[in-house]
Structure 1
Amino acid sequence: MERYYAPELMAIVIARDLVDGEVGMSGASSEVPVAASLLAQRTHAPNLTLLTSAGYVNPKPKSLFHSSCEYRFIRGAEAVLGFYDVFENSERGLDFMFYGGAQVDRYGNVNLTYIGGEWKRPQFRAPGVANVSMMMTCRRMYLYPMSHTQQTFVERVDFVSLPGYLGGGASRRTAGITTPGPRLCVSPLAVSDFEEHTGRMRLVSVHAWSSVEEIVANTGFDLLLPPEVPITEPPTLEELHVLRNEIDTNGILRRGRHSEETTNRA
C-alpha cells in the first residue's frame, strides 16, 4: 500500500459519503472539502454540484488551493455567482456543508469565533463564520477539524458559532432547528459520528497511524466507544491516483501524519 497522509484520508472519507445529484457548498479555507467534492465528482458522483463561498459553481482547477475563494477556481467553472446569489441559492436548502473548527464539543457544536475571555474582549479572535445561515438549511454537516487535541476537542465550546446537537437529546429541535445535526466528524486521527438519541460524539474508526488510546488522551470529553473500533478503510489505488494526479497535483494534502508511522495500538 502506498503511503498516504492524514489530510488525504480525511478528504477521501468525506468523498465516499457524498451522493450523486446532490448540491453542497464549501467555506473559504477548504482544501479538504474541495478535494473531497472534486474526488466524488471524478469517481462515483459525476452529477454532484459544488458551490464555493466565492460563487464558483463546479470549478475544475488543475491544482488545489488553500482557499476556495482563490481566483484561479474560476477556470473551468460552470458559472460564477455574486455573493448575494450565493446566499440566495442556499435558501432553497443545501444537501451538505463543511465546517472546520477552532473548538468542537461532544455534541458537535463548533466554535469559530473566539477562545478565552469574552466575546467583547477575547484572548484569541478566530476567523468567524459568514455562512451560519446555511447550516440551518443543509441536510448534512461534515466537521473536519485539522487538529485532534484537547484544545480542539473540548468539554464545552467557548462560543457556539454553529450549533450541533446543542445540549444533546431533543435540544436541537426544541431550539427550533428542524434540519439534522452533524453527520460525521473527520479528524487527522479518527472518524466519529453522533449517536442518534443522545447526540453525543461516537468513535467510528481509527486511522492507521493512531489508536483508541491516543484518541481518548487527545479528546477533552468522554467519547462514546463501541466494543470494537476498526481501522479507517485506507484509500484505494484509484482514489489516491485521482486525488494526486487530477486534483491535488501540487501536494497540499501530502503533509502531517501518514500510514507508515508506527503506533502503540494494543
Structure 2
Amino acid sequence: MCIAISRELADGEVVLTGAASAIPLAASLLAQAQHAPGLTILGAGVYVNPRRLVPEFTAGWNCHPVAIADMSDVFAITELGIDVMFYGGMQIDQHGSVNVHYVSTSSGRLRGPGMANTALGHTARRTLLFTERHDRRTLTDHVEYASVIGHGYRGKTRQELGLPNQGPAALFTPEAVLRPDSTGVLQPDTKLGELSWSTVADSIGWEVSRSQPADFAATDDEVALLRTHVDPSGILRRSSIIPRLPRPATGNERT
C-alpha cells in the first residue's frame, strides 16, 4: 500500500496526513526519498516534513520534524487548500464519500473522530483514500453519514454540488487500488494482495468488474528504501496494522 500510494505523489506537492496515519506518512517519506525530494509533508497538519516514521502524532512520539506549525496555520491551510489530503474512514462508499462521524451498530452508535480536517476534502486539489480493512462493512455502497463527499452524493455530481476540486483520485486497500470510472464509481485498477480476485471483489460492497486487474509490482529499490530508510524499526509490520482477510485454505498449512 505504501509503495502504491507513494507513486501518486509528485515533486513539489504539499500533502497532509492525519494524526494516526502511518501508511500515508510512510508513503510520503518514500516518495521524498525516491522521486519527489521537493514534496512537503504536513503531519497532522502541524508537523512540517517529519524525518521519522511514527505510528501516530501524539505526545511521546517524536517524528523529528523540520518545523512545527500552530493551529492558525492549520486553519489557513484549510481555507487556501493544498495538493493532496489523505482520508481513511469508518465507511467509504462507491463514489468515494467518507464517513468519519458515526456508524450504527447493534449496541448503539459508534462515534468516530468527526469534523477534524474534513473541509480539506473539498479544498485540497485532490484526495487519496485508504483503509486497512478490505470488507463490506468498510467498503459500503452508501455511507451512513457523508463527512467528505466523493464523486457523487444523493444523485448529484461534484459539479452539481458546487465542489470545485477533483475529489478522490484513488482508494487504496490491502488488496486493491480502485479509481473512479466515467460515472464516478470506484472500480478496481490494480490488484495488491494475494487473495483470489473473486474473494477480493466479493468483499467490496458495490458492483465491481469481475475481471481481474493487473497485479501491482514493486521495484527492488522501492522495497529496500521502505525497509531500510523509511521504516527500519518495522512499524508497518507490527501487529498494530490490521490483518487482512483470512486466506483460503490450500491443504498445505502447518499446524
TM-score (norm 2): 0.87
Q: Find the partner of 1:200 among 185, 190, 207.
A: 185
Q: 1:4 maps to what in 2?
A: none
Question: In the TM superposition, what are the counterparts of 1:134-145 in structure 2 within 5 Å?
Answer: 134-145=120-131
Asked whether 1:65 is paired with 2:51, we answer no
Q: Equivalent pairs: percent with the same residue?
A: 35
Q: Find the partner of 1:41 among 12, 32, 40.
A: 32
Q: 1:222 maps to what in 2?
A: 207
- CA offsets 1:34-72 (integer angstroms, 9 cap, x no match): 0000000001000000011251111111xx322134554
Alpha-carbon separation, structure 2, partners of 1:228 and 1:217: 12
The answer on whether the counterparts of 1:107 and 1:166 sit within 8 Å (CA) in structure 2 is yes
Q: Find the partner of 2:22 among 15, 24, 31.
A: 31
Alpha-carbon separation, structure 2, partners of 1:193 and 1:70: 36
By how many angstroms is 1:92 displaced? 2.3
Counterpart amino acid of 2:27? Answer: A
Gaps of 5+ in 2: 251-255
Instruction: Say which SS state the counterpart of residue 31 (structure 2) adopts.
Output: helix
Alpha-carbon separation, structure 2, partners of 1:84 and 1:212: 46
Q: Find the partner of 2:221 among 238, 243, 262.
A: 238
- CA offsets 1:165-198 (integer angstroms, 9 cap, x no match): 1238862111111101100101011111001x31
The answer on whether the counterparts of 2:12 and 2:38 sit within 8 Å (CA) in structure 1 is yes
Counterpart amino acid of 2:140? Answer: V
Alpha-carbon separation, structure 2, partners of 1:74 and 1:205: 32
The answer on whether the counterparts of 1:60 and 1:73 sit within 8 Å (CA) in structure 2 is no
Asked whether 1:166 is paired with 2:142, we answer no
Q: 1:89 maps to what in 2?
A: 77
By how many angstroms is 1:122 displaced? 4.9
Q: 2:118 maps to what in 1?
A: 132
Higher strand fraction: Structure 1 or Structure 2? 2
- CA offsets 1:193-214 (integer angstroms, 9 cap, x no match): 001x310011101124023201
Alpha-carbon separation, structure 2, partners of 1:263 and 1:87: 50
TM-score (norm 1): 0.84
Instruction: Say which SS state the counterpart of residue 86 (structure 2) adopts.
Output: strand
The answer on whether the counterparts of 1:145 and 1:187 sit within 8 Å (CA) in structure 2 is yes
Point out which structure has higher relative CO (alpha carbons under 8 A, 6+ apart). Answer: 1
Asked whether 1:108 is paired with 2:96, we answer yes
Alpha-carbon separation, structure 2, partners of 1:44 and 1:111: 32
Q: Find the partner of 2:7 among 16, 21, 38.
A: 16
Gaps of 5+ in 1: 1-9
The answer on whether the counterparts of 2:84 and 2:128 sit within 8 Å (CA) in structure 1 is yes
Q: 2:253 maps to what in 1?
A: none
* Number of aligned positions between the proteins: 244
Question: In the TM superposition, what are the counterparts of 1:179-194 in structure 2 within 5 Å?
Answer: 179-194=165-180
Alpha-carbon separation, structure 2, partners of 1:257 and 1:245: 24
Instruction: Say which SS state the counterpart of residue 110 (structure 2) adopts.
Output: strand
The answer on whether the counterparts of 1:189 and 1:210 sit within 8 Å (CA) in structure 2 is yes
By how many angstroms is 1:149 displaced? 0.5
